[in-house]
């Protein structure tokens, strides 16, 4: 447990909210020093390592920088085509720190890391360098069965839309299964780390209403863009939120207007109004926001679309839950459950590419992105053991 805490602190101390290079360097160096795996770094800055199945070769061996390419069957080029790949997946970028989380003025200094009362405090402890450390140690120590290739990947750009994950997928990183180490602790009940079989996506979009300007004393001489936007908002209010079921777990999305801006001054009819919509999508279902375009002068523009995730491999999901329960039972803890997660993660991009994903990690609701962000050392160790045991389990 000491090694895990020390590695977490080492990674957390490295600033990575603007440039992930140094954090990626530390992960790559650790993998090259601590394992005999094939270690790779792609052009985006993602770090990968592989314990090859018998008969597999590296995507370029022990090279400094490479872009993997997919085979015609979707396998990673250079691996044993008969082997199945399980990947532990995390990210080493973080959101900007608060001033109290750095040693310098503003947010430009080194990150402050503090260990007390069984927790590690600092930017990125929960989201998600602690989980990355758990993945690295599990990857090093695990002995996967014959026919299974084990991989670990730490992406860049997760906090800004999944740029690293998308780059990796486009270059051929589409493992058969993946355990994405985002938070799933305290979901079904306090004190447990659950297995998330699905999560919501997020589609951010804008309704742009166009009108015709006129003096406010003669409103009939123009077309009020705010009125048109209001009509479009009424359409949105009438839409049903998307919902579905994954592994007997109900996943319900949402659609909500979050901002509205129109007009420039009090005495002019506005010729433009923009309405921002936050939609939480679910696997296979989305709200019919295009209906808002039935209002004259209104255009619907999608600004960001982070995909949802679902696991359709029941054997994989059941194996992960069985392992999680064994780890909890050994510590006298309540038993975890299959759950769903409300937040989008890089698991969505992998799931959309064909990887069967689960989410399981130490972060607790309310910890990520806060000024007091922290992670439990005990839960980090629980996750490390869970990851290693899953990699060795047949399903």
Tell me: do 84 and 155 sit in the same domain.
yes
Q: What is the DSSP string of 207-266?
A: EEEE-B-EETT-GGGSB-HHHHHHHHHHHHHTSPPPEEEETTEEEE-EEEEEEEEE-SST
Tell me: do 58 and 188 sit in the same domain.
yes
Closest Cα partner for 208 from 302, 293, 298?
A: 298
Domain that includes residue 229, residue range? 202-306
Tell me: do 64 and 121 sit in the same domain.
yes
Tell me: do 258 and 319 sit in the same domain.
no
What gap in Å lies between CA 256 and CA 8, rounded to an integer? Answer: 37
The pTM score is 0.87
Place of tokens 């989008």: 344
% of the chain surpassing 90 pLDDT: 86
What gap in Å lies between CA 384 and CA 139, rounded to an integer? Answer: 9
Give the end of a domain, one of 306, 339, 362: 306
Tell me: do 141 and 48 sit in the same domain.
yes
Tell me: do 284 and 338 sit in the same domain.
no
- Identify any residues that bridge with 111 across adjacent strands, giving them in sequence order: 102
For position 256, which CATH number holds? 3.30.70.360
Cβ atoms of residues 224 and 270 within 8 Å: yes
Tell me: do 9 and 26 sit in the same domain.
yes
Specify the pLDDT at position 54. Answer: 55
What is the token pair recorded at 95? 């959101």
What gap in Å lies between CA 225 and CA 373, rounded to an integer? Answer: 43
Tell me: do 168 and 248 sit in the same domain.
no
CB atoms within 10 A of CB 331: 11
Closest Cα partner for 228 from 250, 242, 210?
A: 210
- Identify any residues that bridge with 338 across adjacent strands, giving them in sequence order: 195
Following CA atoms 84, 244, 91, 384 in sequence, which dihedral angle do they give, to the nearest 10 degrees? -60
Closest Cα partner for 282 from 324, 240, 226?
A: 240
CB atoms within 10 A of CB 104: 10
Give the end of a domain, one of 286, 306, 326: 306
CB atoms within 10 A of CB 159: 19
Tally of domains in the chain: 2
Specify the pLDDT at position 105. Answer: 64
What gap in Å lies between CA 329 and CA 106, rounded to an integer? Answer: 45
Cβ atoms of residues 7 and 90 within 8 Å: no
Specify the pLDDT at position 77. Answer: 40
Closest Cα partner for 123 from 383, 372, 381?
A: 372
Specify the pLDDT at position 301. Answer: 98
For position 355, which CATH number holds? 3.40.630.10
Specify the pLDDT at position 63. Answer: 37
Q: Which residues of the chain have pLDDT under 70?
A: 53-81, 105-108
Tell me: do 239 and 99 sit in the same domain.
no
What gap in Å lies between CA 100 and CA 248, rounded to an integer? Answer: 43
Residues 6+ apart with CB under 8 A from 351: 283, 307, 308, 309, 310, 311, 357
Tell me: do 172 and 267 sit in the same domain.
no
What are the start-end ranges of the H helices in the chain?
A: 2-12, 21-34, 130-141, 163-170, 225-237, 314-330, 347-353, 377-392
Give the end of a domain, one of 241, 271, 306: 306
Give the pLDDT confidence of 168-217 residue by residue, as tens digits.
Answer: 999 999 999 999 999 999 999 999 999 999 999 999 999 999 999 999 99
Tell me: do 131 and 212 sit in the same domain.
no
Tell me: do 193 and 247 sit in the same domain.
no
Cβ atoms of residues 250 and 169 within 8 Å: no
């Amino acid at each position: 447990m000491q090694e895990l805490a020390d590695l977490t602190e080492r990674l957390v101390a490295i600033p990575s909210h603007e440039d992930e290079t140094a954090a990626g360097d530390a992960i790559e160096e650790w993998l090259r020093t601590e394992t005999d795996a094939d270690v790779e770094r792609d052009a985006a800055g993602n770090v990968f390592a592989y314990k090859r199945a018998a008969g597999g070769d590296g995507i370029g061996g022990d090279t400094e920088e490479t872009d993997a390419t997919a085979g015609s069957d979707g396998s990673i080029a250079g691996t044993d085509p008969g082997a199945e790949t399980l990947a532990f997946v995390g990210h080493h970028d973080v959101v900007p720190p608060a001033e109290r989380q750095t040693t310098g003025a503003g947010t430009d200094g080194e990150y402050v890391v503090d260990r007390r009362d069984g927790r590690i405090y600092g930017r990125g402890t929960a989201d998600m360098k602690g989980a990355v450390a758990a993945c690295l140690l599990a990857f090093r120590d695990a002995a996967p069965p014959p026919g299974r290739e084990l991989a670990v990947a730490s992406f860049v750009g997760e906090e800004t839309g999944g740029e690293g994950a998308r780059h990796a997928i486009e270059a051929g990183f589409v493992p058969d299964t993946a355990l994405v180490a985002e938070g799933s602790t305290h979901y079904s009940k306090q004190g447990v780390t659950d297995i998330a079989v699905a999560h919501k996506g997020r589609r951010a979009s804008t309704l742009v209403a166009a009108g015709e300007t006129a003096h406010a004393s003669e409103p009939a001489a123009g077309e009020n863009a705010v009125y048109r936007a209001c009509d479009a908002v009424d359409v949105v209010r009438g839409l049903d939120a998307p919902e579905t079921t994954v592994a007997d777990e109900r996943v319900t999305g949402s659609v909500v207007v979050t901002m509205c801006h129109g007009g420039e001054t009090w005495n002019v009819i506005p010729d433009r109004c923009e309405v921002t919509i936050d939609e939480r999508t679910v696997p296979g279902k989305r709200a019919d926001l295009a209906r808002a375009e039935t209002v004259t002068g209104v255009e619907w523009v999608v600004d960001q679309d982070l995909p949802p995730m679902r696991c359709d491999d029941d054997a994989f999901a059941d194996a992960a839950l069985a392992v999680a329960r064994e780890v909890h039972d050994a510590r006298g803890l309540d038993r975890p459950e299959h759950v769903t997660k409300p937040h989008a993660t890089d698991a969505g991009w992998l799931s959309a590419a064909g990887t069967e994903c689960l989410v399981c990690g130490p972060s607790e609701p309310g910890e990520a992105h806060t000024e007091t962000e922290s992670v439990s050392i005990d839960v980090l160790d629980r996750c490390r053991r869970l990851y290693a045991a899953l990699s060795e389990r047949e399903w």
